Every structure is written in structure tokens, then in C-alpha cells.
Amino acid sequence: MFRKLLLAVDGSPGADKAIGIADEMAKALGSEVLVLHVREVEIGRFPGQMEAPQDAIDLVNGVVGRLEADGVVCKGEARSAPYGRAAREIVEGAAASDVDGIVLGSRGLSDWAAALIGSVAHKVISMAECPVIVAR
């Protein structure tokens, strides 16, 4: 059923738990894992980067290395998107990669923004057309 999983990561403790879940699922089911990190970029009046591009690449490479060391077949991708579009990018990435499920953490690095506009996990659950597993 879960031949391919998308694992969304952001460097948070919740994402670290999601890595463990995706790792165990992939090993048990023989699933391939796509590790995705969305680097949000501010646009508009005060354009700028919220995270350096190399930091995003390093995060993804670190997770891919961890999973590969555990025998999981995986690849990684770091995307840039306007601030507030992380959930949509995750869902679009899942659809484009034809995954059977999404794994992500329940609380990322944006607790303040989540209180104002809703959490990324909640948005992914609402928009995804495949099962979503949220690590708590």
C-alpha cells in the first residue's frame, strides 16, 4: 500500500519523530521515501530569505543520509516557496511524485504563525488526497 512516502522535514523535534516513523514504515513495507523540505522566502515589501539555501540542502542531505544508512531507498529535495505556502508545496510535491502517503511532524518551527494562520500539518491534512501520518 505504501510503496512511496513523502517525508516532510523542517528540523524540528516533531519532524525528527516523523523521520523515525517514515524509517520504520519504509523498512517494514519496502517503501521508497522522498524527503522534502520547503524553504520559505518572504516576498513583498521586505523581501528576504528566512533560511539560507545551503541550510535547506544540508537538512535534506542529513535526513537522506540517516535513512540510507538504515537501508531505506530514498532521495531528497529542497524547495523554495513564498512564506505561508509550505503545506501547498508539500501536497503538490506528493501529487507530482505519486506518493501513497505523507509523513510529517505536528509542530514545526512556526508555532507563532500556526496560531495565526493554522499549522502546516493541519493544512496538509485538509488538502492531501492521500493518507497523512502526523507525528506528535
Residues 101, 87, 69, CA angle at the centre, nearest 5°?
50
Q: Which range among 5-9, 55-59, 120-124 shows the weakest confidence by mean pLDDT?
A: 120-124
Question: What confidence tier does 37 reach under pLDDT thresholds 50, 70, 90?
Answer: very high
Residues 102, 33: Cα–Cα separation, whole Å: 10
Q: CA of 91: how far to CAs of 6, 65, 66, in Å?
A: 9, 23, 24
Question: What confidence tier does 49 reach under pLDDT thresholds 50, 70, 90?
Answer: low
Residues 77, 56: Cα–Cα separation, whole Å: 9
Question: Which residues constitute the domain of residue 85?
Answer: 4-135
Q: What is the count of structural domains for the chain? A: 1
The tens digit of pLDDT for each residue in 24-33 reads 999 999 999 9
pTM of the predicted structure, to 2 decimals? 0.89
CATH code assigned at 15: 3.40.50.620
